[in-house]
Amino acid sequence: MPVKPNSPEARDVAYLVHPYTNLRANEEQGPMIIEKGEGVYVWDNGGKKYIEGMAGLWSTSLGFQHKRLVAAATKQLETLPYYHLFGQKSHPPSIDLAEKLLNVAPDTVSKVFFNNSGSEANDTAIKIIWYYNNARGRHQKKKIIGRINGYHGITLASSSLTGRSLNHAGFDVPLEKFIHTNNPHYYRFGEDGETEEDFATRMANDLDQLIIDEGPETVAAFFAEPIMGAGGVITPPKTYFEKIQAVLKKHDVLFVADEVICGFCRTGNFWASETFNIEPDILVCAKALSSSYLPISGTMISDDIYQAIADASSKLGVFGHGYTYSGHPVAAAVALETLSIYEEEDILGHVRSVMGLYQERLNSFADHPLVGEVRGEGLIGATELVRDKSCKEAFAPTDNVGGTISNICLKHGLILRPVGDSMCFCPPLIITESEINALFDAYAVALNEGLDHLTKEGKAVA
């Protein structure tokens, strides 16, 4: 439908540049405008109600309109609306948040640097790694390894670390020093007769050979999401991280766990690093740190890294990195209250009580003619849509099947995120059993409607 003159949609088209959007399509069709939210639901400006099956962007963990978070922000705004952490200045919300966050963090990390987004958290990690190796006199040890299809953000450095072509095309990234190892998606890249464990061994061997080929003295760190979220919710094959970590230790390469999506109870443990037995040297978090009510992220580092960079800052006179809004007091106050809610309302216990039903309903789509693979853990998951499931044949990208199914879902009151032709699910952690059933009931209707549509067009093999 054309955009109506003088409507909110027309004003959007006139003034806004949208992230992750076909800008010409937005000009022609206008945006979907969300006006309010409550619990796991949001409403558009026409009054239509939707289950937010993606918690916004994998992130509104406590749902919309949690009164305690609104009150925490209001109280802090009335007390100290802004201050900074530069030049040995500090304020109570950042101190309290740092202490509480590290009390629940893995034992391998001991200090936290606050940023404003997951992209910035990863940028900070990269800069700290380079600073650290310079401090140790290892001036060549600077290369950073990401994974093909991995996602770590969209700043210059973090987009270079990201391994997705759509984030590289047109932007002249990756920059130098960034290299990528294989995508550990067993369904797509496992060889005939290869078990998951054998596939994991091959992935580890490939990483080992990559480091050897590059020169271990030049390779500084390996970044990985425990579950590859924006790559389509790719769960690791069995034994993968155990074997990867052995390779990294062999070559003295740091492991950075990107928990921007997976942290804060999402996988059925407080950290996905616990779920997959990861012992990170650096852990980055964002999104659910404040339930996304305000922008804040954290880069947590080991004591070994901290001691080296502290010595270097003394020698150089300053640790010359930081953001105006690092540890912003209002964002920190909201994040602190978020952590308190996780504890006091036993959000982890709730996730564990409903994730069995969630995964059962998700896996019920495994037999659907359009679904090639179902993937998930805890309260995150995806169904990968295929043209012919008997041979895993994918749809042509021009068919835009993920987009088609997503639009049908909207018609039935459900917001999901298509990653290519993988339909991703990541609802607020507070979702109830009845809401889980409503979510997947709507998806079932939309998927069947999509199958009929694609079959009539000759695009799907029913």
Same domain for 59 and 84: no
Q: Is 394 domain-assigned?
A: yes
282-285 and 254-258 strand pairing: parallel
Q: Is 1 domain-assigned?
A: no
CB atoms within 10 A of CB 321: 14
Q: Is 303 domain-assigned?
A: yes
Query: Where does a domain end: 344, 366, 391?
Result: 344
Sequence-separated (6 or more) residues with CB below 8 Å from residue 383: 362, 365, 368, 371, 373, 374, 375, 422, 423, 447
Per-residue pLDDT of 196-222, as tens digits, reads 999 999 999 999 999 999 999 999 999
Q: Is 417 domain-assigned?
A: yes
Q: Is 109 domain-assigned?
A: yes
Same domain for 350 and 327: no
Same domain for 391 and 336: no
CATH code (residue 309): 3.40.640.10
Quick one: pLDDT at residue 285? 98
Tell me what percent of the residues of the chain surpass a pLDDT of 90.
Answer: 97
Query: Where does a domain end: 344, 370, 386?
Result: 344
Same domain for 283 and 186: yes
Q: How far are the Cα atoms of 213, 352, 358, 362, 445 from residue 441, in angstroms, in the given order?
A: 50, 21, 12, 10, 6
Q: Is 24 domain-assigned?
A: no
At 134, which amino acid appears?
N
pLDDT above 70 for 256? yes
- Average pLDDT (233-258) is 98
Helix (H, G, I), strand (E, B) or coil at 368: coil
Same domain for 402 and 289: no
Per-residue pLDDT of 336-365, as tens digits, reads 999 999 999 999 999 999 999 999 999 999
DSSP letter at 289?
G
Same domain for 194 and 277: yes
Nearest-angstrom CA–CA distance, 265 and 62: 11
Same domain for 403 and 276: no
Query: Where does a domain end: 283, 316, 344?
Result: 344
Q: Is 424 domain-assigned?
A: yes
DSSP letter at 234?
B
| Contact indicator for 85, 326 with CB cutoff of 8 Å | yes
Tell me what percent of the residues of the chain surpass a pLDDT of 70.
Answer: 100
Q: What is the domain extent for residue 178?
A: 68-344
Quick one: pLDDT at residue 458? 85
Same domain for 137 and 95: yes
- Average pLDDT (251-267) is 98
Query: What's the first-to-final CA gap in the chain, in angstroms?
Result: 31
Residue 417 in tokens = 């995120």
Per-residue pLDDT of 91-106, as tens digits, reads 999 999 999 999 999 9
- Average pLDDT (53-67) is 98
Q: Is 421 domain-assigned?
A: yes
| Contact indicator for 366, 393 with CB cutoff of 8 Å | no
Question: What predicted TM-score, i.e. pTM, was given to this entire model?
Answer: 0.96
Number of domains in the chain: 2
Nearest-angstrom CA–CA distance, 16 and 94: 33
What confidence category does residue 3 fall into, taking pLDDT thresholds of 50, 70 and 90?
confident
Per-residue pLDDT of 180-191, as tens digits, reads 999 999 999 999
Same domain for 101 and 78: yes
Nearest-angstrom CA–CA distance, 432 and 430: 6
41-44 and 34-38 strand pairing: antiparallel
CATH code (residue 379): 3.90.1150.10
Same domain for 220 and 241: yes
- Average pLDDT (61-67) is 97
Same domain for 256 and 333: yes
Same domain for 111 and 252: yes
pLDDT above 70 for 1? no
Of 141, 82, 125, nearest to 333 (Cα)? Answer: 82
